Each structure stands twice: as C-alpha cells, then as structure tokens.
C-alpha cells in the first residue's frame, strides 16, 4: 500500500464519556443522521479517474457529505475546471470543502533496470503536469477560490534536512499569505516525518512557531500522528484552535498500513473528545492504497457512526 508521503516522497467524536461530548454532538451529530463526515479522494485514486461522476455518486450514496479533492491523473480537478467540479459535487448533494496540493515539484523516481534475464519493468503511465506551491502558488490559490472550496491544504513538503525545512517554511509562509488574501484558510497536512527530530527540532514545531496561526493551520492525520508517537490531545492543548481539519485514518497494528476506520488500533475516542480544543470543523476519512475504495469507505462510515453514536 502507498501512503501520500510515499506517493509525494520527492515533492523536494467523540468520546462517549468525554466532558465535551454535548458540544461536539451539537456541532457534528444529528440524532438521526451523521451530518458532515467527508472523504479525502486520495482514497479512491485507483478508481476515480476511470469514472469520476460514478465514483462520487457512490460516495454520496454511502452517506458522506463533504469532499476533499487531491491529485488526479486526468489533470486539473479530475479533468474538470474548478467550478465544473464544484457543481458536480453539489449536484450530488455534497460540498467541496478542501483541496490538496503538493508543496514542491514531484520528481518521479526512474524505474529500476531489470536484472539480467528478467522481464522488463512495466511501463508507468505518463504523469500529467502537477502544480505545486513552490512554482504555482497564485494560480493554485485562484483556482481553489474560483471553485468555492474553503481550505487549501499542502499535502506534503520536504522536511528531511534542515535546508529543506527552511525552504519549506518560506513556501508555506508565501502560500498562507496568498490564501488569506483570497479568503481561503491555508492548512498543512502531516505525515510522520514532521514529528521526527532534525538537528534538535521537529519540523511541525517549527511550522507552528514560525508561521502565524492566521496564515497556517493544520490538518492532523490522526493515524500518522499516532504512529509518530504524538500525544494528540496534548498537541491540541498546546495549539488550541489550530486544527480545523482531521484525516480520520486507521492502521493495522502489525503492518502499520492503513485499514478501514474502526478495524485498526487507533483509539479515536480521546481524540474526538478533545476536538473542541483542536477547533476541528471537518472530518475527512482517508485510507491510502484502499484495495476496494467504495467498500472500504462504506465500512469506515458505518464504523464511524458507531464510534460517535
């Protein structure tokens, strides 16, 4: 399975007994229906480009109400202009809330040469042009604003060396300023690397301390943060109100690979109980490398309803 950081590697609740449950229930839960769970469309990457409208219809049929878009092999917004994509989502009874974009150019690794006598490696499909925040900030901001989404999310950015981190901070600062002028909220999405120490500092801490909360907020990927050893409720206490978006993702304990929500080892209850402190407004279910995306999203949705019931 491939997670987003692997894919962009070189882009170089509600607790049942939680004290905040009543407020969170008022914000997110209708007594008869879960109201605003969403889907990160990276989950459907293996199927969506073959039938964009059909895939979105299936997502709406499950009961999801919000969409967070991502990279598409068709280019643009799944082969569409921003307003066209927004209208399709709206016509299906959902809303387009957020869009993921790379922080720096994606450099696809060259395929390894086949060993002597071995069959040649399969030909990879041609990659469409991928816009990124280093080179295309204003164009990206204008497109997302045109489509009416509220959040522009940096999906991944290089943080493996201090020089990479410093450049990434400049990119995020610039993008945050442009997004704010356009009326968008600029958000950074984490993997595990942002919580690993580089020269005595964690990239996440540098982002949070060196860029104003008015310019940069966070979409916490609950699975990758948990895998990195983060005490998530404590993180919310340290940075209250700075996490408007969650990626609700689960992991298999043995393989550490994404699985349907509710079938892995992530304990969502204490995280959801602290959601008011976090400032969360939108939950997006994501399962990187989902083997059967629609079936997997159905299982996750049904399990989430039980978790927040």
The mean per-residue pLDDT over the stretch 74-101 comes to 97
- Residues 111-163: tens digit of each pLDDT: 666 666 666 666 655 667 789 999 999 999 999 999 999 999 999 999 999 99
Q: 238 and 274 in contact (C-beta within 8 Å)?
A: no
d(CA 101, CA 290): 20
36/165 Cα distance (integer angstroms): 34
Q: Is 225 exposed, middle or buried (0-12, 13-18, 19+ CB in 10 A)?
A: buried
CA-to-CA distance for 39 and 101, rounded, in angstroms?
Answer: 16
The residues, ordered by sequence, that sit 6+ positions from 181 with a Cβ below 8 Å of its Cβ are 141
pLDDT digits (tens, 9 = 90+) for 183-201: 999 999 999 999 999 999 9
pLDDT tens figures, 35-75 = 689 999 999 999 999 999 999 999 999 999 999 999 999 99
Q: Measured between alpha carbons, how far is 256 from 124 in angstroms, rounded to an integer?
A: 27
Residue whose structure tokens are 């060396």: 161
Mean pLDDT of 87-92: 98
Residue/partner pairs of 260-264 with CB below 8 Å, 24 or more apart: 260/287, 260/296, 260/299, 260/300, 260/303, 261/285, 261/287, 261/299, 261/300, 261/303, 261/304, 261/307, 262/299, 262/300, 262/303, 262/304, 262/306, 262/307, 263/299, 263/303, 264/223
pTM score, two decimals? 0.86
The predicted structure's pLDDT at residue 112: 63
């Amino acid at each position: 399975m491939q997670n987003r950081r692997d894919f962009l590697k070189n882009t170089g609740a509600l607790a049942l007994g939680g004290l905040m449950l009543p407020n969170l229930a008022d914000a997110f839960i209708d007594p008869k229906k879960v109201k605003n769970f969403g889907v990160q469309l990276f989950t459907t990457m293996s199927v969506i480009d073959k039938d964009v409208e059909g895939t979105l219809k299936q997502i709406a049929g499950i009961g999801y109400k919000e969409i967070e878009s991502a990279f598409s092999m068709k280019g643009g917004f799944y082969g569409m202009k921003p307003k066209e994509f927004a209208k399709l989502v709206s016509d299906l009874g959902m809303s387009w809330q957020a869009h993921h974009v790379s922080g720096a150019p994606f450099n696809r690794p060259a395929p390894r040469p086949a060993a002597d006598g071995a069959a040649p490696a399969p030909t990879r499909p041609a990659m469409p042009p991928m816009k990124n925040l280093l080179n295309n900030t204003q164009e990206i901001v204008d497109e997302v604003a045109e489509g009416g989404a509220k959040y522009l999310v940096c999906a991944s950015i290089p943080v493996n060396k201090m020089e990479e981190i410093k450049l990434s901070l400049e990119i995020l600062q610039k993008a945050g300023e442009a997004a704010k002028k356009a009326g968008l909220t600029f958000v950074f999405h984490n993997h595990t690397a942002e919580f690993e120490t580089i020269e005595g500092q964690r990239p996440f801490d540098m982002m949070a301390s060196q860029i104003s909360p008015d310019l940069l907020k966070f979409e916490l990927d609950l699975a990758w943060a948990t895998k990195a050893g983060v005490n998530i409720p404590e993180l919310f206490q340290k940075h209250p109100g700075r996490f408007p978006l969650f990626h609700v993702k689960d992991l298999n304990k043995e393989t550490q690979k994404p699985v349907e929500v509710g079938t892995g080892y992530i304990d969502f209850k204490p995280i959801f109980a602290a959601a008011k402190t976090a400032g969360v407004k939108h939950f997006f279910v994501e399962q990187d490398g989902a083997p059967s995306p629609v079936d997997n999203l159905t299982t996750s949705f049904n399990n989430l309803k039980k978790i927040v019931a």
